[in-house]
Structure 1
Amino acid sequence: MIRRLTSRLYHDEGLSWRALRSGMWILAGFGGGQALRLVVNLALARLLFPSAFGTMALIMVLIQGLNNFSDVGTRPSVLRSPRGDDPDFLNTAWTIEIMRGVALWLACCAMAVPFARFYDAPELAPYLFVAGFGTVIHGLTPMRVLTAERHMSLRQVTKADLLSQVITSVMLVILAWITGSVWAMVVMLAIGGIVRILIILWMIPGHRDRLHWDRAAVHELTSFGKWIFPSTIMGFLIGQGDKAILGRYLSLTQLGLYNIGFFLASFPLMLGGAIVSRIMIPLYRESPPSAGRDEFDRVRRIRFALTGGIVFATLLVAFLGPWIVDLLYDDRYRESGIMITLIASVVVPQIILLGNDLPALAAGDSRGFFYLTAARAVLFLSCFWFGSHVAGLYGALIGQAVGNILSYPAVALLARRHKAWDPLHDGVFALIAAIGLSLILLPRLDQIRALTQVG
């Protein structure tokens, strides 16, 4: 029995087995990468200082914002398009990404000084001139990575990513030890991209990129991307809006403590997002829930398994948060412990909703995807800002949870349009989360209320 299952796991080309193999490789790659990131984070916490993490958080707000404000939807286009394996299509997509990377760097340079003045941190400007060049490097990433994702063939991609992370992590720690400065992290944003490209070219076989301009491919990319572009703007507001807002309410040291807490607390969410985005779009493309009961049940089983594991891991992190910080960090970072508990708690509703928007992307409904993302962004920002204004960090995080819950009708409406809404899945995990969070949070109410003094 075990031998037969092992054989099917490695060789069966059925959709479910390919999805399972892909999930295992993503889990190995993301888990290994995050474990490595944690080790590096611990080393940097001793070599640098809390405000360094706050500075990097603001740098990434601008760079990630520019990335999202210019996203033309290359990745989902390659994953779902019938031309996703056409060399002319891939070469055109690569050419567009290169042009976009250069434009992003120029925009970053233009905005560096105003951005630094807005946050009253003049040291940000020179950092941004250098860090922004990483967007040029990122634009050169070979398309063979997306081709492998398209076919759920992620073994070599995972190995390449892990190797590049090991090399760049070692280089980062050495630079931080030599300089004792934020410059180590800034410079590695560009150098790390170069290392990753070289390793991809060495380890992953496939399409050889070249500059090309196919009008039909451009039309398809831009037609699909015209709704992906504003969607990624809204996605940026959801993903980076918390740091952008808190940067005005907290000191760089406090923002650094929050950033460390967020990194540890959101690990299960980031892992879930990586698995769901890489597996579910190809799965929905090949086996849409609207095709019949068997297809719907297949998707339900996969989502139950994914959500169950991610919710359990998040509840565990929320419970262990203060002990994690006491074990791994020194007294300068102690405040991050209860932040881990609270941040992990408020992202649980977001975990339950993972994947509900992907049937729209798989079906080419980028407009519906945009409307949903916009609704989520408006609810998140308004609730997060109001909470931070009224009760500091404590109120901001409560506002984040409220915003996620209020977005559920819009999420369910889009999923239902594509016959992918699964109220049983959502209801079961909402109940599990409510019970688990009650047991974790109620004994710690005094510690949580103390966060109202932050900011």
Structure 2
Amino acid sequence: MPNLAKPNFFQRLTTGEGIGARVVRSSASIALGNGASQALRLASNLVLSRLLFPDAFGLMALVTVIITGLQMLSDAGISQSIMRHERGDDPRFLDTAWSIQVLRGIALFLVTCALAPAVAAVYNEPLLAHLLPVAGISLLIAGFTPTRNLGYLRHLRATRVTVLDLVSQAITIAAVIVLAWWLQSVWALVFGTILGAAARVAVSHAFLDGHVDKFRINREDANEIITFGRWIFLSSISGFLVLQGDKAILGAYLSLAALGIYNIGYFMGSFAAQLTDIVQAKVLIPLYRDTNPRENSDDARVVQRLRILLSGGGIALLGLFAFGGTVIIELLYDPRYVSAGLIVVLIACAQMMGLASKVYDQAALALGDSRGFFIVVALRALVQTIMLWLGAETFGVAGALIGQGLALLAAHGGSIILARKHNTWDPLHDTIIIGAAFALCAGAVFVHRDGLIALLAVGT
């Protein structure tokens, strides 16, 4: 006889096709995958820090700022368009999106080559003129990433994409470690960017099912993507300042070795915030597309719980690094990098102050308000850049990071206005998350007070 027993909660969660089950599975897959990705990256950094000198990491930090900046400053909102648009599964729409992406990759590579001499002159590092064009090849290759990656995420089927990303990352790390042992220079890290892009494109084409992209551009679809994406483009300019502004500004204050040490601390201190951002971006947009929390009370409860769960997990992880950053650095890195420990503490505290805002950003994008999203991100970038620069001028690295945290907290007001516009503001979420952030930051500052006072006294 057939088994007519009603599935238990665990079975519904792991095999069900309801929106709640798919959201939980997708969130868990993305979180675990990105956690594993950061663990691989940490293991790579530990090995590479023993094969290379801090100056190499400083140079690579500058290369990364430029490459990431070009990616963000040319973001046309292609991924968001596919994930939110009602025709996100239409082959014609996907081909148009992919074709725009390919053309963007070609343009980015050419721009990287053209900018390299000027960037080298600005930072007075002649080697950048050679490193940047080679690193720019990764932008060209990434343009050919298939849209089927986004198709899986659009339907909250993130597991296979996550596993393939980990496979490509593991291949890349192994190759970079071999190159670092052989070359003993920053070139190993630069070649790694190319290998990483190539590995991701290759495994996606080989192991993901779905639409096979063709080069064709439909004018109607292109207009829709560009119309939505123009505000994403402007938002990405602001987002670059939010994510990379600290390194761009501090690059003018610190030596290459000091910048390399800062970059180690930044990676460790911002890990939890980046993980939370990635999960929210990949889960909340499809969730809002498939539910109606503004009118359906059941959907509203699901979304509220997920918001608190995502932000709460991020706060808990950031708190771990805020309290234990110095110990983690001392245990994992050699004495050349020990000063990165206090950087971890300050970055984790600064990131806590902005964590409550991110859920409202994704809701606005899911509802098609790319203009409102741009305004909020631009406000955040403006306030953060000003505060970071003033802090760096007054108290050096420590002042810059304190300024960043205060700026992110102040900019939350703009996120509340945007959320109220779309009836997505959640006062309970904000009270819990911001309250926890204040409590954890106060505790971390008290525990590390002697070291932080000494770091502030050093200045620039």
State the match for 2:249 in structure 1. 245
The one-character-per-residue Cα deviations of 1:290-331 (angstroms, maximum 9, x if unpaired) are 223322221111111111111111101111111111111111
TM-superposed CA distance for 1:436, in Å, is 2.0
CA contact (8 A) 1:394 1:449 kept: no
Q: Does 1:307 align with 2:317?
A: no
CA distance in 1, matches of 2:76, 2:200: 22
CA distance in 2, matches of 1:435, 1:165: 36
2:330 to 326, 336, 347: 326
2:435 to 428, 431, 434: 431
1:184 to 183, 188, 212: 188
The one-character-per-residue Cα deviations of 1:360-404 (angstroms, maximum 9, x if unpaired) are 111111111111111111011011111111111111011101111
CA distance in 2, matches of 1:292, 1:414: 20
* 1:200-279 alignment, distance < 5 Å: 200-279=204-283
State the match for 2:105 in structure 1. 101
* 1:10-409 alignment, distance < 5 Å: 10-409=14-413
CA distance in 1, matches of 2:119, 2:252: 12
Give the partner amino acid of 2:135. Answer: A
TM-superposed CA distance for 1:406, in Å, is 1.0
Give the partner amino acid of 2:79. Answer: R
Q: Does 1:417 align with 2:421?
A: yes
CA distance in 2, matches of 1:429, 1:363: 24
CA distance in 2, matches of 1:222, 1:196: 26
The one-character-per-residue Cα deviations of 1:19-75 (angstroms, maximum 9, x if unpaired) are 000011101210111111100000000000111111111101111111111111000
Q: Give runs of ≥4 in structure 1 deviating > 4 Å.
A: none
- Which secondary structure does the structure 1 equivalent of 2:354 belong to? helix
State the match for 1:443 in structure 2. 447
TM-superposed CA distance for 1:2, in Å, is 12
- Which secondary structure does the structure 2 equivalent of 1:355 belong to? helix
CA contact (8 A) 2:353 2:406 kept: no
1:50/1:428 CA distance change after superposition, 3 Å: same
Give the partner amino acid of 2:73. Answer: F
TM-superposed CA distance for 1:454, in Å, is 5.2
- Which secondary structure does the structure 1 equivalent of 2:424 belong to? coil
CA distance in 1, matches of 2:453, 2:440: 20
Give the partner amino acid of 2:424. Answer: A
CA contact (8 A) 1:97 1:139 kept: yes
CA contact (8 A) 2:394 2:459 kept: no
CA contact (8 A) 1:289 1:419 kept: no
Identity of aligned residues (%): 43
CA contact (8 A) 2:33 2:162 kept: yes
1:2/1:323 CA distance change after superposition, 3 Å: farther
CA distance in 2, matches of 1:196, 1:107: 23
Give the partner amino acid of 2:19. Answer: L
TM-superposed CA distance for 1:281, in Å, is 0.5
- Which secondary structure does the structure 2 equivalent of 1:121 belong to? coil
CA contact (8 A) 1:288 1:359 kept: no
- Which secondary structure does the structure 2 equivalent of 1:72 belong to? coil
1:2/1:181 CA distance change after superposition, 3 Å: farther
CA distance in 1, matches of 2:65, 2:196: 19
TM-superposed CA distance for 1:190, in Å, is 1.2
CA distance in 1, matches of 2:384, 2:91: 40
1:259/1:2 CA distance change after superposition, 3 Å: farther
Q: Does 1:6 align with 2:4?
A: no
CA contact (8 A) 1:250 1:454 kept: no
TM-superposed CA distance for 1:10, in Å, is 2.6
- Which secondary structure does the structure 1 equivalent of 2:359 belong to? coil
CA distance in 2, matches of 1:146, 1:68: 18
1:288/1:247 CA distance change after superposition, 3 Å: farther
CA contact (8 A) 2:323 2:447 kept: no
Question: How many residues get paired?
Answer: 455
Give the partner amino acid of 2:44. Answer: V
The one-character-per-residue Cα deviations of 1:169-221 (angstroms, maximum 9, x if unpaired) are 10010000000110011012112211111111121111111101111110110
CA distance in 1, matches of 2:255, 2:373: 36
CA contact (8 A) 1:168 1:188 kept: yes
CA distance in 2, matches of 1:126, 1:46: 24
Q: Which runs of 5+ in 1 are unaligned?
A: none
CA distance in 2, matches of 1:443, 1:192: 39
